[in-house]
């Protein structure tokens, strides 16, 4: 008989009974050694015996179902064993022996195969009726057999599994305690004491093990079909865990089918068997179906999240194709179970979705896959269930954890891709509003526009732009309603946009996260204000965070492209301005955005101008990559569109756009031409201008866009190898004969003629020179005059300088003579000014100035006096020409003449050009110019004088240097245009070092920082930071202390504020007084913000030595002015900008709002900051004790003696300074115990005041519904429930202590002081950190970090059973910190009274 033969091969009769008893006594946890001879026989006969037994057990299993209630043939096994004297215990012990041998890490292939076959036989034996009565079942052995699927399969050739996965970013970074090992991990194998050896298996070996694993899984499935595990929850949970691991065992070929009844023998792949096993576990015979579904969904959760549930923290699996396929199969299986079990499984699908959201990590790849999983699961939902999930997601989107809010945005985008559900499909009227796409966009997505996290805020803006690309018409309408004032304003209950509603989280790491449905409440509403939304978007474009600016740019472009917001100049200016953003990535993004907008709306003139204003200035950017991007855009848009033209050809859209842009460049955007020239300089080096390109370009000079063609020719002719000169000369003749060409085109034609002049023959040159002279004598537009004179110079230029100068003297001298005669006719004849042509007079003056620069020898004294007479009324003196004007007489002191201001302003410019060529004229008229700046009343004249004196400073630096105070005084001119030009002129002179920072120049620059015109203030800030500070990094720190004395007009110090100034200048630049206090401190903050830590440290000590010491030693009197200086000094020392960055920067771990990727990138920096902070703190403390404290004590006594009000400022300074040393007050002020007591008392009182204010805020919040409260939290039942796999819901913390409230308030203040930081705060989310018992309290105003890990599972609750009032704190006693340190300090006044 087969069964008897197999038993004989196993030598069961030869096995000692003591050995069998020992195996059973050890509960199959350890391998008991057998006799060597028996082991050899078993090794030789084991494979054959297992094959025979397997065939027999399968045959018995097929006959195990009796038809008449009797045991039937299935009893034969136990009878045969008894008849042959073989005990069941011996058979089970022998099978366990093979199982334990093959479980070893160093087991060879045959041992592993034998172990798997033995385990399969044991499971088949359990399937045979009578196994329970004959005591075959043993839970430990059964679990061990099932776990062989992972123990016997080689894991990465013996390498550690820890190296495979990526750590889950959901962890909070705390060190967790080692968990207890389960029974399957308690076996002690002899091989475990040895070093792990890497055993390499061949492909054939792996196939043998794989077939044995498949055989074992099939046996397990057969067992589950008949063997009930209803009373064995541990075994059921173990089976679910094993099946979830087997899903990754091998790839599945073909399509999976999840039928309720399947032939196990036909299941080919192990994952297919595993899914069938999970389905079997959900049957009623294995326990309550709800518990089974919860258990199965719990294990599938990690498959969907692409995580491996490790003993401590989940680890991320690399998203390979196999992992993604397994994830998709798991989602399909979940949908199958829901379709099969209907109402029974639907609540668990809802809970599974919630856990996917809560368990999600920050990595974008995993978030995208997770959102797709949510979309696949929700697509199968009924409308009512879908609405419930969206309602939950709305509250989840305001969770205190950043990654949760971030993932909610991803989920919204996936849900928007699904077809919108009809309101008729939902019977519950309260849930209808959650079905529309408008709700998802307005109440979930757009609500994140004000998120406190820049990552979430930027992601929301990016997704908002993507919404306009969706096929859903309602989604597009929803976006329109957000920004269009005429759109439908949709207001949904339960939305907030002002901040993040905390879900009452704590910093404690939750070991278990229940799988239970809980509703999250909210208490605020919002509407959609189109103007506010657009203003917020435009403001976000200037956000301090780079990713927010980039995302806002993308959103703005999307809105403009789809016509949601108007193509206004303001909106387009915001876009083009970002092309000059300080961040390189933002500049590149802005260039991309303006390019997208131009491609989408090429016909809009404003868009064309915005593109040029954004792209062209970038050509001067310091970043090469940005230049290259702009250059590429210009080449594709302009240069590559120049093609051959004929009257019969048709220009395509791109060509029309190119010529429209060139036309704008010749008209409204002429100021961008200098940036355009930079591009051509680069292109010429790259040989872009081929003869073919020039030929195509010249073909356009007779077209409608002739202006753009000449513009391009003027840029490229100079660097072109071959140019058809004849066509250019023909165009010149046409222009001269017609005279109808506009000034800009004339200028470009003249530029082309000048560039080709060296290649023209003498005859052509003479003809052109004659044309130019006759043209100049007609006095055309001003810009043409300059270009014509420059072309005249290029035509007459030769290698002989004398010959060139003679040519210019002849022709330009002729122009000077013509202008001189015209001026004499107007100024020296009676009634000459009555019929004055103002424009012609200006052209003559301009021509005279331009021509005189090229022929200084032809400038006569009479000509100079004629120009001066334009500015004065003494024409009678000029007629006599007997004496010259006194040099000290300012222009404005002459009797006003009848000439218009515009003529006088051009006369000043002409006089300045004459001075540039004659040093004696410059020396003579510089005092006149300087005086004009002081007393002149005409804005245009003062403005031109500033420009003239700047040019003269370059030419005659030493002469003009004495007049720099007169120029800088114009920084406080009454007219903004004069102040702006003065600022630009001085910046250029300082940059080129024609002017030095001497006297009051620096302080006058500082006053420009607080100019009443914001544009001038920003310009001054830009000039100082980006142009001047780079040349002199010590500039700010060198002048800081003197700023205190200068702006307060204090001159009693023996060193500072001693430079000469007139009384008029002192009054003009004084910022003294309480009314100017904010302006002074704005300057102080600006300077300190751009200090290095070394400069801050030095300036702190220098202030104490030069200011505090002088008052303490009474070198400076403590009068009213002195008290103001001392008070202001203490206020400066308390500024947050004065604090060292190394001390204020966070050197600790990552905050709750930071992602894991960012944390890993900044880990080394954080460590360095921590070390630096420690060293700097020690040095600062030592310096403070040695240098500052004695001065403070001395000053305090002096101020008390004088009864000065500055004492309040001193105490306020100490209160702020000692915040970081509150426990060392007595040590610092050991020399003055009274002062130490007063400082401690002041600190205590300040703390109490902050606490009271915070408590008042808390009471205001608690009067209504508590923000972020959790309704129906089942926290009370968690300890008594057997299964804790429920909706993630941390319990509500206990009320914070007073110290916590105060700490939280300090954190809130620091956040409010940071630009762009959110001002919202959830008071109830304040918690204590884990290490708070050793250090002072640390608060997390926006909620703690939840470690969503699952170690247990509990029963599910419906809405009614989960609404249980009351919540308990989860912090254990050892983690609860004691209250704040009690201040044992009394008021110094009370102490004095007692004495």
Q: What is the DSSP string of 1044-1109?
A: HHHHTT---SSSSS-S---HHHHHHH---SGGGHHHHHHHHHHHHHT--HHHHHHHHHHHIIIIIH
Percent of the chain beyond pLDDT 90? 21
HSE-CB at 796 with a 13 A cutoff on CA atoms is 23
Better-predicted residue by pLDDT, 1379 or 544: 544
State the pLDDT at residue 1239. Answer: 67
Average pLDDT over residues 1330-1358: 33
Better-predicted residue by pLDDT, 1279 or 687: 687
Partners of 1270 in the β-ladder: 520
Better-predicted residue by pLDDT, 337 or 526: 337
Tokens 């026989």 appear where?
Answer: 41
Query: How does strand 315-316 pair with strand 166-167?
Result: antiparallel
State the pLDDT at residue 1282. Answer: 36
Percent of the chain beyond pLDDT 70? 73
pLDDT over threshold 60, residue 277: yes
Q: State which of 101-105, 393-397, 1205-1209 shows the largest mean pLDDT.
A: 393-397
Better-predicted residue by pLDDT, 550 or 1289: 550
Q: Which of 1001, 1000, 998 is nearest to 985 (CA)?
A: 1001
* Dihedral class, residue 2 (left if φ above 0, else alpha if ψ from -120 to 50, else beta): alpha
Q: Which of 465, 474, 653, 486 is nearest to 562 (CA)?
A: 465
Better-predicted residue by pLDDT, 280 or 489: 280
pLDDT over threshold 60, residue 184: no
State the pLDDT at residue 1094. Answer: 85
State the pLDDT at residue 1247. Answer: 65
DSSP single-letter state for residue 450: G
- Residue 519's φ and ψ, nearest 5 degrees, are -90, 140
pLDDT over threshold 90, residue 989: yes
Strands (E), 305-378: 307-308, 315-316
Average pLDDT over residues 1025-1044: 90
Better-predicted residue by pLDDT, 53 or 680: 680
Q: Quickly state the pLDDT bin for 370 (edges 50, 70, 90).
A: very high
Q: Which of 1101, 1121, 1119, 1118 is nearest to 1045 (CA)?
A: 1121
Partners of 307 in the β-ladder: 316
Cα gap 776→795, rounded to integer Å: 15
State the pLDDT at residue 170. Answer: 44
State the pLDDT at residue 129. Answer: 78
E strand or H helix at 224: helix 203-226
Q: State which of 78-92, 306-320, 953-967, 1169-1183 shows the largest mean pLDDT.
A: 953-967
State the pLDDT at residue 1178. Answer: 63
State the pLDDT at residue 857. Answer: 87
Number of neighbours of residue 656 by Cβ within 10 angstroms: 15
Better-predicted residue by pLDDT, 220 or 880: 220
Question: Poorest-confidence range of 187-201, 209-223, 1315-1329?
Answer: 1315-1329
Partners of 1271 in the β-ladder: 519
- Let me know how long the chain is: 1395
Q: What is the DSSP string of 1157-1195?
A: HHHHHTHHHHHHHHHHHHHHHHHHHHHIIIIIHHHHHHH
pLDDT tens track for 716-760? 888 876 788 888 888 888 878 776 677 888 888 889 888 888 888
Question: Poorest-confidence range of 337-341, 690-694, 702-706, 709-713?
Answer: 702-706
Question: Token digits for 276?
Answer: 């069938």
Average pLDDT over residues 214-240: 87
Question: Poorest-confidence range of 149-153, 188-192, 996-1000?
Answer: 188-192
Q: What is the DSSP string of 633-673?
A: HHHHHTGGG-----TT----HHHHHHHHHHHHHHTTTGGGH
pTM score of the predicted model: 0.72
- Residue 808's φ and ψ, nearest 5 degrees, are -70, -35
pLDDT tens track for 53-89? 777 777 766 665 544 443 444 446 777 777 777 777 8
Cα gap 433→465, rounded to integer Å: 23
pLDDT over threshold 80, residue 1149: no
């Amino acid at each position: 008989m087969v069964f008897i033969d197999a038993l004989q091969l196993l030598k069961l009769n030869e096995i000692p009974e003591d050995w069998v008893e020992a195996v059973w006594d050890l509960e199959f946890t350890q391998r008991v050694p057998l006799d060597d001879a028996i082991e050899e026989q078993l090794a030789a006969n084991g494979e054959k015996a297992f094959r025979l037994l397997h065939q027999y057990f399968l045959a018995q299993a097929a006959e195990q179902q009796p038809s008449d209630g009797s045991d039937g043939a299935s009893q034969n096994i136990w009878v045969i064993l008894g008849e042959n004297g073989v005990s069941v215990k011996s058979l089970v012990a022998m099978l366990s022996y093979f199982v334990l041998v093959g479980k070893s890490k160093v087991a060879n292939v045959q041992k592993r195969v034998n172990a798997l076959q033995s385990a399969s036989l044991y499971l088949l034996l359990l399937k045979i009726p009578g196994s329970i009565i004959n005591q075959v079942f043993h839970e430990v052995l059964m679990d061990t057999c099932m776990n062989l699927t992972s123990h016997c399969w080689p894991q990465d050739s013996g390498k550690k599994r820890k190296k495979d996965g990526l750590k889950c970013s959901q962890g909070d970074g705390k060190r967790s305690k080692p968990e207890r090992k389960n029974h399957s991990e308690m076996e002690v194998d002899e091989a475990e004491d040895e070093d792990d050896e890497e055993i390499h298996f061949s492909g054939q070996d792996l196939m043998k093990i794989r077939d044995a694993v498949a055989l074992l899984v099939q046996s397990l499935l057969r067992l589950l079909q008949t063997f009930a595990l209803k009373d064995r929850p541990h075994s059921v949970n173990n089976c679910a865990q094993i099946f979830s691991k087997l899903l990754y065992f091998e790839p599945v070929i073909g399509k999976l089918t999840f039928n309720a009844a399947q032939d196990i023998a036909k299941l080919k792949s192990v994952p297919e068997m595993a899914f069938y096993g999970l389905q079997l576990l959900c049957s009623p015979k294995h326990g309550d179906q709800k518990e089974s579904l919860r258990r199965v969904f719990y294990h599938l959760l990690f498959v969907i999240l692409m995580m491996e549930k490790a003993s401590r923290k989940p680890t991320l699996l690399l998203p390979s194709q196999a992992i993604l396929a397994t994830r998709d199969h798991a989602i399909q299986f979940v949908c199958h179970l829901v379709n099969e079990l209907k109402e029974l499984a639907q609540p668990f699908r809802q809970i599974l979705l919630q856990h996917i959201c809560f368990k999600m990590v920050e990595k974008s790849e995993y978030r995208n896959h997770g959102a797709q999983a949510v979309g696949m699961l929700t697509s199968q939902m009924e409308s009512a269930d879908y609405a419930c999930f969206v309602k939950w997601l709305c509250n989840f989107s305001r969770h205190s954890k950043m990654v949760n809010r971030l993932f909610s945005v991803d989920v919204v985008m996936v849900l928007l891709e699904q077809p919108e559900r009809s309101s008729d499909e939902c019977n519950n009227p309260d849930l209808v509003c959650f079905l529309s796409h408008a709700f998802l966009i307005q109440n979930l997505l757009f609500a994140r526009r004000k998120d406190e996290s820049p990552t979430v805020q930027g992601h929301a803006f990016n997704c908002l732009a993507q919404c306009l690309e969706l096929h859903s018409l309602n989604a597009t309408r929803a976006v329109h309603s957000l920004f269009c004032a005429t759109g439908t304003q949709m207001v949904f209950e339960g939305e907030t946009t002002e901040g993040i509603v905390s879900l009452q989280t704590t910093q404690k790491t939750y070991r278990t996260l229940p799988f239970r449905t809980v509703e999250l409440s909210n208490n605020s509403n919002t509407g959609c204000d189109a103007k506010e939304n657009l203003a917020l978007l435009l403001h976000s474009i200037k956000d301090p965070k780079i990713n927010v600016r980039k995302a806002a740019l993308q959103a703005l472009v999307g809105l403009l492209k789809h016509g949601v917001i108007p193509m206004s100049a303001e909106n387009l200016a915001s876009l083009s301005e970002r092309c000059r953003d300080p961040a390189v990535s933002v500049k590149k993004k802005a260039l991309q955005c303006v390019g997208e907008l131009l491609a989408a709306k090429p016909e809009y003139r404003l868009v064309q101008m915005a593109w040029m204003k954004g792209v062209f200035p970038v050509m001067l950017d310091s970043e090469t990559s940005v230049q290259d991007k702009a250059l590429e855009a210009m080449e594709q848009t302009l240069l590559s569109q120049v093609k051959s033209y004929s009257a019969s050809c048709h220009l395509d859209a791109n060509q029309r756009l190119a010529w429209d842009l060139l036309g704008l460049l010749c008209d409204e955007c002429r100021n961008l031409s200098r940036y355009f020239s930079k591009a051509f300089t680069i292109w010429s080096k790259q040989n872009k201008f081929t003869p073919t390109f020039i030929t195509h370009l010249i073909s356009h000079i007779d077209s409608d866009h002739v202006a753009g063609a000449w513009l391009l020719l003027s840029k490229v002719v100079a660097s072109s190898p071959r140019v058809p000169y004849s066509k250019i000369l023909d165009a010149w003749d046409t222009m001269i004969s017609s005279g109808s060409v506009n000034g800009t085109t004339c200028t470009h034609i003249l530029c082309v003629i000048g560039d080709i002049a060296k290649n023209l023959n003498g005859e052509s040159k003479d003809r052109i020179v004659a044309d130019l002279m006759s043209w100049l004598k007609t006095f055309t537009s001003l810009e043409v005059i300059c270009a014509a004179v420059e072309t005249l110079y290029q035509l007459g230029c030769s290698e002989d300088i004398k010959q060139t100068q003679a040519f210019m003297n002849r022709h330009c001298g002729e122009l000077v003579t013509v202008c001189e005669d015209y001026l004499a006719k107007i100024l020296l004849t009676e009634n000459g000014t009555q019929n004055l042509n103002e424009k012609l007079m200006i052209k003559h003056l301009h021509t005279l100035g331009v021509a005189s620069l090229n022929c200084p020898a032809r400038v006569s004294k009479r000509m100079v006096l004629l120009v001066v007479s334009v500015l004065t009324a003494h024409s009678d003196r000029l007629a006599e020409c007997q004496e010259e004007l006194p040099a000290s007489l300012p222009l404005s002191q002459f009797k006003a003449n009848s000439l218009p201001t515009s003529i006088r302003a051009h006369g000043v410019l002409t006089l300045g050009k004459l001075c540039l060529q004659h040093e004696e004229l410059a020396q003579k008229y510089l005092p006149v110019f300087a005086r004009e700046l002081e007393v002149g009343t005409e804005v245009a004249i003062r403005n031109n004088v500033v420009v003239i004196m700047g040019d003269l400073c370059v030419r005659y630096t030493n002469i003009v240097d004495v007049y720099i105070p007169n120029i800088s005084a114009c920084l406080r001119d009454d007219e903004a245009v004069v102040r702006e030009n003065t600022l630009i002129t001085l910046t250029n002179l300082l940059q080129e070092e024609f002017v030095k920072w001497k006297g009051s120049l620096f302080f006058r620059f500082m006053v420009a920082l607080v100019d009443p015109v914001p544009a001038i203030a920003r310009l001054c800030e830009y000039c100082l930071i980006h142009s001047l500070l780079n040349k002199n990094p010590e500039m700010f720190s060198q002048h800081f202390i003197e700023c205190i004395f200068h702006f307060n007009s204090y001159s009693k110090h023996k060193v500072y504020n001693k430079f000469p100034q007139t009384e008029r200048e002192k009054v003009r630049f004084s910022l003294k007084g309480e009314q100017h206090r904010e302006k002074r401190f704005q300057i102080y903050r600006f300077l300190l913000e751009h200090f290095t830590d070394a400069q801050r440290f030095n300036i702190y000590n220098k202030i104490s030595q030069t200011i505090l010491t002088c008052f303490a030693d009474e070198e400076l009197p403590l009068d009213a002015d002195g008290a103001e200086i001392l008070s202001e000094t203490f206020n400066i020392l308390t500024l947050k900008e004065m604090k060292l960055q190394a001390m204020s920067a966070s050197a600790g771990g990552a905050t709750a709002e930071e992602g894991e990727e960012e944390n890993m990138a900044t880990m080394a920096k954080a460590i360095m900051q921590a070390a630096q902070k420690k060293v700097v703190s020690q040095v600062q403390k030592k310096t403070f004790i040695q240098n500052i404290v004695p001065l403070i004590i001395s000053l305090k006594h002096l101020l008390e003696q004088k009864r000065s009000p500055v004492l309040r400022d001193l105490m306020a300074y100490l209160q702020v300074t000692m915040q970081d040393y509150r426990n060392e007050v007595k040590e610092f002020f050991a020399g003055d115990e009274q002062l130490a007591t007063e400082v401690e008392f002041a600190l205590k009182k300040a703390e109490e005041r902050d606490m009271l204010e915070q408590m008042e805020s808390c009471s205001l919040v608690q009067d209504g519904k508590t923000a972020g409260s959790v309704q129906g939290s089942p926290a009370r039942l968690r300890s008594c429930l057997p299964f804790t796999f429920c909706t993630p819901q941390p319990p509500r913390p206990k009320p914070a202590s007073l110290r916590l409230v105060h700490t939280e308030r300090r954190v809130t203040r620091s956040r409010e002081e940071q630009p762009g930081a959110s001002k919202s705060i959830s008071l109830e989310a304040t918690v204590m950190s884990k290490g708070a018992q050793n250090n002072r309290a640390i608060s997390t105003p926006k909620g703690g970090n939840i470690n969503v890990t699952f170690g247990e599972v509990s029963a599910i609750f419906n809405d009614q059973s989960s609404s249980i009032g009351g919540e308990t704190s989860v912090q254990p006693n050892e983690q609860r910190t004691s209250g704040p340190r009690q201040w044992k300090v009394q008021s110094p006044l009370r102490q004095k009274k007692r004495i």
